[in-house]
Amino acid sequence: MRLLELSILRKVLWSGANVATKITNCPNPENAEKFIDFLTSVDAQEALASVLNRPLRTGVELPEGMIPLEEMEYFYWDVKDVEAKKTGHY
pLDDT along the chain (90 residues), means of 10: 49 57 90 92 91 86 86 79 74
Residue 85: predicted pLDDT: 81
pLDDT of residue 78: 81
73 lies in some domain: yes
Number of structural domains (the chain) is 1
**Per-residue pLDDT at 90:** 55
Range of the domain at 48: 2-85
Residue 90 lies in a domain: no
3-state SS string for the chain = CHHHHHHHHHHCCCCCCCCCCCCCCCCCHHHHHHHHHHHCCHHHHHHHHHCCCCCCCCCCCCCCCCCCHHHCCCCCCCHHHHHHHCCCCC
Residue 67: the pLDDT is 86
Quote the pTM value.
0.57
